[in-house]
Chain A
Amino acid sequence: MNLADGEWHRLHPATPLLRGGLYLVAIIGIVVANLRERLVEWFLPGVICPPGEIGCDDDPVGQLIDSGYLVIGLLIALGVLLLLIALFYVSWRMHTFRVTAEVVEVKSGVLFRTHRKARLDRIQGVSVSRPLFARLFGAAKLDVEVAGQDANVQLSYLGTSASDLLRADILRLASGSRAASGSQPAGGGAASGSLVERRVSELLAPELHPDVAPPESVVRMPVGRLIGSTLLSGSLVWLLVLIAVVVTVVTLSLTVSSEMVWILFTVVPITFGFGSYLVNRVIKFLRYSIAATPDGVRIGYGLFSTRNDTLPPGRIHSVAVSQNLAWRPADWWTVRVNRASRTTNSSGDGQAQQQSTVVLPVGTRDDVFRVLELLLPELLGAGGGDLRALLEHGLTGKGGDDEFTTSPRRAAVLRWFSWRRNGFALFPGVALLRRGAIWRELAIVPTPRIQSVAVEQGPLERSLRLAGVHLHTVAGPISPRIGALSTDDAQALFRDAASAAVAAAGTDRSHRWRSGEK
């Protein structure tokens, strides 16, 4: 079945169950916990309530039986259940979507109707996520990400293979490619076998649909590196500092009185918190993969609940490669991006936002370049040698003798350690901002994505004849800003970046990235 044929379609029939899934499980759990003794009594009479003992039937069910209202009670429960099922059914019937050549539309709601429409050429990405509970049912959630706060068009839930196909179709339509819809994969083999076998094979299948994307990832994520990088991240340092402070305080106060020992226990929950953060991160990124597809970069992760994002070309508004001091001996880096679609996570999957901005949680320098090649294919593809050398200097350069224009000596007042390194370089198509000597960071801003440019100067900077430049991109974890440049350099950067942004915006065609083909 082709879901992108412009007709209205319904979602996976198990949608209400999956959406309310957790609550349902919770309610059943509460009921079972409360009726535990009664259940035991039903199956093993006499174990808990020996015959003749009084006060055993004091729970609501017992009272119902005693008062003779059992039938009415059961009828009410049945009625509520039927009503709920009817409501779920109606809401499922009313929840429809369609994908045309121009827009994705979703209609939902029974009493309060919502009708959300997204233009395909404004799509910022398509992600397919499969929470553990939904995976058991072979269902997946498809998010069509559109620029703006919480502007996503969400199709939850669809069948796993249907969602993979629909993603491919949406991306094909959005790309402006005039190729015919030939994306129906020959997936007939997987459909045979019993229901259970299919579920198991889906559960174990690689996250990237074998027919829709080349599954080989360009980066391998060893478990040891994931654990090591988390341990060596800043949070562990803070944890150790905190423990050291607490222990010192306690040992000092012990000389005064021995009642201060309880303070030691405040460390326990914090340590547990850190432990769960560590485990969460490792589980989340354990099956990390990143691969190029014709319609953009595909990033997959997650062990139990899996998710994979597709970022079409031209949707990455800036990239930052950073490294803290502890990661330096191992030459580990992390890559983050700014994207135009954002989600405030009031709904469900808590850290989706944080994750969708992390492109490479941790990787060696080679990995970083492989990832950058995917993120900036038009710049780092064939013949990108110059930029590669420039990026190399941007990551590890100490400053002074490379292509970067750096802060003057007098900026050492404001940039104690990093004034030699703090600098920028403009390359056709991209602006590079290099910052930090201890926490190294390189911000890469593609010039077609620059929204505006500002040059700024505070009183302290003025007295030192310094100024800063801010390249405005869509909001995100990266703020491409470089301070403490000499006024001349800053103004030159402002002028060059402003004209480069105008020129690049005029020639950029990535919103319909494959419209030139065929």
Chain B
Amino acid sequence: MTLREPQGSAAIDPVPGDWQRVSPKYLVVDLLGLLFSAVIFVGGATLPFVFTGEPLLLILPAGMLLIHVLIAAFTPRRVRALGYRLRDDDLVFRKGIMFLRVVAVPYGRMQLVDINRGPIARAFGLSELKLVTAAAASHITIPGLPEADAETLRDRLVELAESRRAGL
């Protein structure tokens, strides 16, 4: 399936074609995580009002709420914009709608492949795949992969990395 293009022809798309998408369930995971963060931050921002009773201080929680609502509004598009693709010699990963980023990591450069499961993601049977190279800047995290997919992907990547092992 293809991704919907980000708006405007000015957007970068260096390797046009089909992208592997993350599970649609990841949207729910992301929103739930955002909800947690909203509860904590809005709650924390309300404390000054609770202690002083000064109504003007309600601006703080209102601002926090607004920020979280805005992030939530963009979340569906942000999740849809996540994509990865296994090419012959490298893995390409893209993310972002406002700040677009496309990274290509040659298989031989991968130093380590991690699978992480957060508590919310685990409830939905999702995992997160993390790739690390010798360069700190290139690390990639692919969230929202079904557990079985994540494991096969990891094994495949390790196998590919092993067959193309290069020095630093």
**Which A residues contact B (CB, under 8 angstroms)?**
121-122, 124, 147, 314-315, 317, 340, 448-449, 451-459, 462-465, 467, 470, 472-475, 479, 487, 490-491, 494-495, 498-499, 501-502, 505-506, 508, 510-511
Contact = CB atoms under 8 A, between A and B. Distances in A.
A315 B89 CA distance: 23
Contacts of A511: 167-168
A168 B73 CA distance: 62
Contact of A454 (B8, B98, B101): B101
B103 A453 contact: yes
Interface stretch (B11-19, B30-38, B49-57): B11-19
B66 interface: no
Contact of B15 (A451, A456, A472, A495): A495
Nearest to A481: B137
Given A505-B109, A506-B166, A451 B101 contact: no
Contacts of B98: 458-459
A502 B90 contact: yes
Contacts of A453: 103-104
A464 B12 CA distance: 12
B99 A473 contact: no
Given A451-B135, A452-B135, A495-B15, 9 more contacts: A121-B167, A122-B167, A452-B104, A462-B100, A472-B133, A472-B138, A474-B134, A475-B135, A501-B109
Contacts of B138: 451-452, 454, 472
A454 B10 contact: no
A490 B8 CA distance: 17
Contacts of B105: 451-452
A501 B168 CA distance: 12
B109 A451 contact: yes
Contacts of B103: 452-454
B65 interface: no
A494 B14 CA distance: 7
Contacts of B61: none
B133 A455 contact: no
A464 B8 CA distance: 11
A490 B12 contact: yes
B10 A491 contact: no
Contacts of B134: 147, 340, 451, 474
Nearest to A507: B166
B158 interface: no
B102 interface: yes
B104 A494 contact: yes
Given A474-B134, A487-B10, A455 B168 contact: no
Contact of B10 (A147, A455, A463, A501): A463
B83 interface: no
B100 to A, nearest CB: 4
A119 B97 CA distance: 43
B137 A472 contact: yes
Nearest to A504: B166
B90 A455 contact: no
A311 to B, nearest CB: 13
Contact of A457 (B100, B104, B106, B133): B100
A457 B99 contact: yes
Nearest to A467: B12
Interface of B: 8, 10-15, 89-90, 98-106, 108-109, 133-138, 164, 166-168
Interface of A: prevailing SS: mixed
Contact of A474 (B14, B135, B166): B135
Given A458-B98, A495-B14, A505 B135 contact: no
Nearest to A494: B14
A337 to B, nearest CB: 14
Contacts of A314: 167
A498 B11 CA distance: 19
A511 B134 CA distance: 15
A508 B14 contact: no
A494 B102 contact: yes
Contacts of B135: 451-452, 472-475
Given A491-B12, A494-B14, A495-B15, A455 B99 contact: no
Given A340-B134, A474-B135, A511-B167, A457 B90 contact: no
A490 to B, nearest CB: 7
A331 B152 CA distance: 56
Nearest to B107: A502
Contacts of A499: 89
A472 B111 CA distance: 14
Given A122-B168, A452-B135, A502 B101 contact: no
A473 B137 CA distance: 8
A472 B89 CA distance: 17
B168 A340 contact: yes
A494 B105 CA distance: 11
B106 A501 contact: yes
A494 B166 CA distance: 21
A502 B168 contact: no
Contacts of B167: 121-122, 314, 508, 510-511
Contacts of B101: 454-457
Contacts of A317: 168
A452 B12 contact: no
Contacts of B99: 456-459
Contacts of A491: 12-14
22 contacts: A448-B166, A451-B105, A451-B109, A451-B138, A452-B90, A452-B109, A452-B138, A457-B12, A457-B99, A462-B8, A462-B10, A470-B137, A472-B135, A474-B168, A475-B137, A487-B11, A494-B104, A498-B90, A501-B106, A502-B89, A505-B106, A508-B167
